[in-house]
């Protein structure tokens, strides 16, 4: 809803739109609108949110709320789809929606297959095409993650939904791909001549991708007990970042061109060895000054749960660009700082130009793509410290989005919803991509399912378990970048908070 509100605010949402909510709970359109209005209110002046607004534009909201209706029913039963069919015909007449429909499945993943079957059986997935095969009454289905919970279930779900839908009707959403900074990776790499020649195994030592969160499971204990950090974050969000960094330049910058290149990255990743994975679980501690309880004491979590809330992995990409360059990935809850970044470490200088400085003392260059918060890009290099003797200091040249562009409230779903409306699938995952990602992590899931040992505890509010440090140490003494981290430094020398 914040995304729809934002699209309306920026006049991207057309007027001929109606929103039909379907839920099992007894409700009314007014009750639903009031509930959503309350949720919008929680964003007002909320500096912790990407959707930080000063006030709700009530006129705009009323316009949206007036187009909302509510249907009560069981989504596993055919009756509700008959009511939905009638409701869709009505709004089509009332708002001239031309019969175009987006079904947005914000339901538990176990219902995805059922709902798509029912949509099909009710005839709601049928498109009408002109003589060139272009749909002029389109039907599209957005499927939230998790898309399956392992390789076999993802394959089965693909087979099932593709019995009803064409692949180009399916939009498997990954909200990380809606983030501006993630989309910017392609512009940064391919709109500049400078970086691509050094973007390979000749110049890059290794890459670290971090998605650290300060939140815990936040009342989602039930979901998390069946999911864990690996399934929740890695084959989807973290791999999406990895694909953006690792993909070859596409021949065409359209959905097919870009998705083919990303799919090639996944295809070049050998299945993970269980030894290349570390899992951790948060204990009690302090996060941002607030005391937190251990994961096992969270509501709906088993007191002897073996579910990981942190995972670190070493992955490889076996192609000419990346052979021998490890990608270290980590994600966790209740960590010291909220930070999502891609950090590229370049090979060190081969010789020291100064008699007083050994080559080992030269610090390597880092290129850091900061996804959130403080979105930006920084290049870290050594310079001579001013003074009579030769001493080196490490400095950063930093670009911060906030310095260059006005900050727009944005939650990332705006772009994605808009893309579904215009039928652009570039930022969505294709069936083969989802399956390839599961294929990579499957051996780790299998090994963890068989062997409950090896879960490393970490105190909340830290950088994760020590075992994750050893994953890098054993690779020639490498180390993770710190969490929490020094802030980017503005060009005027002030710390950027």
* Binding residues for ligand BG6 restricted to 208-227, rule: CB under 6 A: 213, 215
Query: Which residue, 44 or 215, is less far from ligand BG6 as judged by CB?
Result: 215
Helix runs in 73-210, H state only: 78-95, 112-121, 151-164, 180-190
Residue number with CB closer to ligand BG6 (305 or 365): 305
Smallest distance, Å, CB 215 to ligand BG6? Answer: 6
Provide, rounded to whole angstroms, the least separation between the CB of residue 412 and ligand BG6. 7
# binding residues, ligand BG6 (CB under 6 A)? 4
Residues, the chain: 497
Name which of residues 113 to 152 contact ligand BG6 (CB under 6 A): 145
Q: Which of 232, 298, 316, 414 binds ligand BG6 (CB under 6 A)?
A: 232
The residues pairing with 379 across neighbouring beta strands, listed in sequence order, are: 367, 397
How many CB atoms are located within 10 Å of the residue 392 CB? Answer: 17
Q: Is 237 annotated as catalytic?
A: yes
Q: State the minimum distance, in angstroms, from the CB of residue 214 to ligand BG6.
A: 10
Residue closer to ligand BG6, measured from CB, 135 or 221: 221
Nearest to ligand BG6 of 9, 179 (CB atom): 179
Question: CB–CB of 349/381 below 8 Å?
Answer: no
What residues from 174 to 213 belong to the interface with ligand BG6 (CB under 6 A)? 213
- Which of 296, 321 has the CB closer to ligand BG6? 296
Question: Looking at beta carbons only, is 139 or 145 nearer to ligand BG6?
Answer: 145
Catalytic residue among 175, 206, 237, 334: 237
Residues 322-341 close enough to bind ligand BG6 by CB under 6 A: none
User: Could you give the C-alpha distances from 229 to 55, 311, 333, 353, 448, in angstroms and in order?
Assistant: 35, 6, 8, 45, 13
Smallest distance, Å, CB 124 to ligand BG6?
27
Least distance (Å) between residue 457 CB and ligand BG6 = 20
Distance CA 179, CA 408 (A): 12
Give the CB-nearest residue to ligand BG6.
232
Check binding of 308 to ligand BG6 (CB under 6 A): no
C-alpha 253/C-alpha 414 separation (Å) is: 20
Closest CB 331 distance from ligand BG6, rounded Å: 9
- 232 or 341, CB closer to ligand BG6? 232
Q: How far is the CB of 49 from ligand BG6 (least distance, A)?
A: 9
Residue nearer to ligand BG6 on the CB measure, 151 or 233: 233
> Least distance from C-beta 315 to ligand BG6, angstroms?
20
Whole-angstrom distance, CA of residue 81 vs CA of residue 119 = 7
Helical (H) or strand (E) element with 142: strand 139-143
Residues in touch with ligand BG6 (CB under 6 A): 145, 213, 215, 232
Active-site residue list: 237
């Amino acid at each position: 809803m914040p995304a729809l509100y934002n699209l309306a605010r920026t006049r991207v949402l057309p007027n001929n739109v109606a929103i039909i909510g379907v839920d099992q709970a007894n409700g009314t359109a007014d009750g639903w609108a009031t509930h959503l209005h309350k949720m919008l209110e929680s964003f007002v002046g909320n500096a912790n949110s990407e959707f930080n607004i000063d006030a709700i534009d009530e006129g705009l909201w009323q316009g949206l709320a007036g187009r909302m209706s509510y249907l009560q029913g069981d989504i596993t039963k055919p009756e509700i789809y008959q009511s939905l069919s009638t409701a869709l015909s009505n709004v089509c007449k009332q708002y001239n929606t031309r019969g175009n429909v987006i079904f947005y499945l914000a339901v538990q993943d176990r219902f995805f297959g059922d709902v798509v079957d029912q949509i099909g059986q009710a005839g709601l997935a049928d498109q009408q095409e002109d003589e060139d095969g272009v749909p002029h009454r389109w039907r599209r289905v957005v499927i939230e993650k998790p898309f399956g919970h392992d390789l076999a279930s993802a394959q089965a779900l693909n087979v099932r939904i593709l019995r009803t839908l064409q692949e180009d009707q399916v939009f498997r959403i990954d909200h990380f791909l809606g983030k501006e900074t993630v989309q910017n990776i392609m512009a940064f790499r391919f709109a500049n001549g400078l970086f691509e020649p050094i973007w390979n195994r000749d110049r890059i030592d290794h890459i670290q991708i971090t998605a650290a969160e300060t939140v815990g499971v936040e009342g989602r204990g039930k979901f998390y007990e069946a999911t864990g950090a690996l399934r929740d974050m890695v084959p989807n969000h973290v791999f999406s970042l990895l694909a953006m960094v690792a993909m070859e330049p596409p021949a065409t910058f359209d959905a097919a061109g870009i998705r083919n290149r990303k799919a090639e990255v996944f295809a070049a990743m050998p299945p993970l060895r269980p030894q290349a994975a570390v899992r951790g679980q948060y204990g009690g501690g302090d996060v941002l000054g607030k005391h937190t309880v251990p994961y096992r004491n969270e509501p709906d979590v088993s007191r002897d749960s073996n579910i990981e809330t942190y995972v670190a992995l070493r992955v490889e990409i076996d192609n000419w660009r990346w052979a021998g360059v490890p990608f270290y990935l980590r994600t966790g809850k209740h960590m010291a700082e909220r930070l999502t970044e891609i950090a590229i470490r370049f090979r060190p200088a081969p010789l020291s130009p100064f008699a007083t400085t050994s080559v080992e003392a030269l610090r390597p260059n880092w290129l850091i793509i900061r996804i959130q918060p403080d979105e930006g890009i920084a290049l870290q290099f050594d310079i001579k410290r001013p003074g009579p003797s030769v001493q080196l200091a490490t400095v950063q040249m930093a670009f911060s989005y906030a310095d260059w562009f006005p900050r727009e409230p944005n939650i990332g779903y705006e772009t994605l919803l808009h893309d579904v409306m215009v039928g652009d699938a570039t930022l969505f995952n294709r069936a083969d991509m989802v399956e390839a990602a599961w294929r990579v992590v499957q051996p780790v899931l299998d090994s963890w399912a068989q062997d409950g040992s090896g879960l490393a505890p970490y105190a909340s509010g830290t950088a994760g378990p020590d075992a994750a440090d050893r994953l890098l140490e054993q690779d020639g003494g490498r180390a993770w970048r710190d969490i929490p981290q020094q802030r980017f430094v503005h060009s005027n020398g002030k710390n950027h908070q």
